[in-house]
Amino acid sequence: MELAFGIKDFFHSLLIYHYLFFIILFLAALFLLFMGIALRKKPLFAFIFYVASFLTITVAPVAGFYYLEEYLRKTSLENIKVLRLVYTKAIVITANLTNKGKIPIKKSYIMLSMVKKNDNSILEFFNTFSPAASQKILLQIPIKPGESSEVRLVFDISKVVSPESYDVRYVIKSF
C-alpha cells in the first residue's frame, strides 16, 4: 500500500494551526505528567494523570491531526462516472473535485487502485492492501472553499486480467 502523497509534501503542507495544535498538546501532556507527580501520594489520581499524559502524547496527535485536516482541507470526488475504453485497456473517470474545507487548495493527489471484489467484507478489506493495479495522479488545480472543478482521470489497467471482477477505489489528499 502506497500513500497518495510524498512525505516531503506532507511536511511542507503543515500550517500554523498544526504547529499550535502540537505545542498545546505537548504542554497539556507536561501539565498532566506534573499533576501525576504532584499527586504521587494518592496512587489512583496519579495513575489517572499518568495515563492521560500518555494518551495525550500518543493518541491525541494522530486523532487531532486527522480532525484538523478534515476541517481545513476536506475534499471529495462527487458525481463520479467510470467508463471503460474499448480499444485500450484503460478506464476514464470523470468527477467533480469539491473543496469542502475552510482554506483554498492548490494541488490534490489522487491514488487510484483496482481492488478485487469479494463477498466477505474482511477479505475485501485485506485486498485493499494489495491492489491489482494502482496509479498516483497529481492535479494542480486551485480550488477555493465551497467550489468544485471537473476532473478527468485516465487509469491504466493493462496489468489486470479480468477487470470486471475488480472495483476502482480512490484516496484523495489535498494541500
CATH class, 75-174 region: mainly beta
- With cut-offs at 50, 70 and 90, classify the pLDDT of residue 2: low
Q: What is the identity of the amino acid at 70?
A: E
The model's pLDDT over 105-118, given as tens digits with 9 standing for 90+, comes to 999 999 988 888 88
List pLDDT tens digits, range 67-123: 998 999 899 999 999 888 888 888 899 999 999 999 999 999 999 888 888 888 888
**pTM of the entire structure?**
0.78
pLDDT tops 70 at residue 3: no
Strand spans (E) along the chain: 75-84, 90-99, 108-116, 133-139, 148-156, 166-174
Contact call for residues 78 and 148 (beta carbons, < 8 A): yes
For range 137-142, the mean pLDDT:
92
Query: Percent of the chain scored above 70 by pLDDT?
Result: 97
pLDDT one-digit tens code per residue, 8-42: 877 877 888 889 999 999 999 999 999 999 999 99
- The sign of the dihedral angle between the CA atoms of 127, 76, 24, 43 is negative
pLDDT number for residue 1: 54
The string of DSSP letters for 1-55 reads: ---SS-HHHHHHT--HHHHHHHHHHHHHHHHHHHHHHHTTTSHHHHHHHHHHHHH
Structure confidence at residue 48 (pLDDT): 95
Question: Domain spans of the chain?
Answer: 7-72, 75-174
